[in-house]
Amino acid sequence: MSKFSRRLPHAETNAISAAIAAGAAAGTVVDLTESNPTAAGFTYPADLLARLADGAGLTYTPSPLGLFEARRAVAEDAARRGALVDPGHVVLSASSSESYGWLFKLLCDPGDAVLVPRPSYPLFEHLTRFEGVQTVPYDLEHYGRWRIDFAAIAAAPEATRAVLVVSPNNPTGSYISAAELERLTVVCRDRGWALIVDEVFADYPLDTTSPITDIAAAAADVLTFSLGGASKSLGLPQVKLGWIVVGGPDAARDAALGALELIADTYLSVSTPVQLAAPDLLTRGAEIRHQIQKRTQSNLTRARTITAANPACEVLAAEGGWSAVVRVPATRAEEQLVLDLLQRERILVHPGFFFDFPHEAFIVVSLLPAPDLFADAFARTVRLASS
């Protein structure tokens, strides 16, 4: 909850936080906002992090863009998603949040703007503000599936330097379609913008049989940055490893890589042990991904079954990711529904306004919790929301 609480008005934050604290003290809160896979009951091999103890990590040889073997491992892993990536076009960071910070430093001066999707993950507002950059939202509109509002893209201010896409989006679960990506590329080329594509959830398709899972930067003809990381791809947020694949016309790509090398050299934030372990982790991560994929698909199916018996609520299409958006009756404010769930049922969910949904009433639930726990809590959530 910590990353999101700052978006709430102060009184609402206090009320929800107090209810969470009361339930937590009683040991009874069921967290349907859980986004930490290591707390969701998955089975991790006991020796999965053994390579972090590699004795080679006792020698420090700084490499701003990342050790070549680790960058090559990221490039080779990209082939799993049908992309051909040159290791020389990979930049390692400590997290996708750090990747964003570096890209905003690279692309923007203070006062410049980046376009960000709405609804979406609320951390962008803070990451841009830390760099003195403005966020200008463009809407994702729901017509059976979520689609980009290109009229909002066309109306972007002159100070815009980049457009940010999250595919699949968190929390809507929508992948950018091939047609939308092509259209955005044309806009970026005409306006001189860069394209930032956050692909951290791309390994987790749900409702779609043909997601856009290849890496956008690998075949881009405008300056494009594709973001990934161990937090989602490997289910290992604690190892602190992210990456950026840089693509586009040779001159623009190489200039960006040169500037990113300077930025990364200023911080040198990626640990040597995790870089040495990266090839092994990327190979063995398939085991964790499989568990997460099976769990999220199972919980989405359970959610649909439960709402079928409670037609006042609807689980919206979720093409990928770890979340489900539920449209609920607008008989009470989202804030009140969240508080009622906490106080009466000891269940925590996200209200739609955390993610800047354009209107009420929506809630967002994580698909990570253990299946029986999820099914029971979700059924109680739907019953209360429908009452």
How many other CB atoms are found less than 10 A from the CB of residue 110?
Answer: 8
Mean pLDDT for the stretch of residues 203-210: 83
Average pLDDT over residues 44-62: 96
Amino acid at 281: L
List, in order of start, the domains of the chain with CATH numbers. Answer: 5-43+286-386 (3.90.1150.10), 50-285 (3.40.640.10)
pLDDT tier at 144, thresholds 50, 70, 90: confident
| Whole-angstrom distance, CA of residue 231 vs CA of residue 1 | 17
Return the DSSP state at 174: P
Distance CA 240, CA 225 (A): 19
pLDDT higher than 80, residue 143: yes
Give the tens place of pLDDT for each residue, 326-367: 999 999 999 999 999 999 999 999 999 999 998 999 999 999
Degrees to nearest 5, angle at CA 32 with 14 and 97:
75
Q: What average pLDDT does the segment 276-294 reach?
A: 97
Distances (CA, A) of 128 to 104, 112, 113, 201: 7, 10, 9, 21
CA 299, CA 32: separation in Å to the nearest integer? 11
pTM: 0.93
pLDDT, position 21: 56
For 195-204, b/e burial (b = at least 16 CB within 10 A) is bbbbbbbbbb
Helix (H) or strand (E) holding 143: strand 134-143
Cβ partners under 8 Å of residue 195, min gap 6? 162, 163, 165, 184, 185, 188, 216, 220, 222, 223, 224, 225
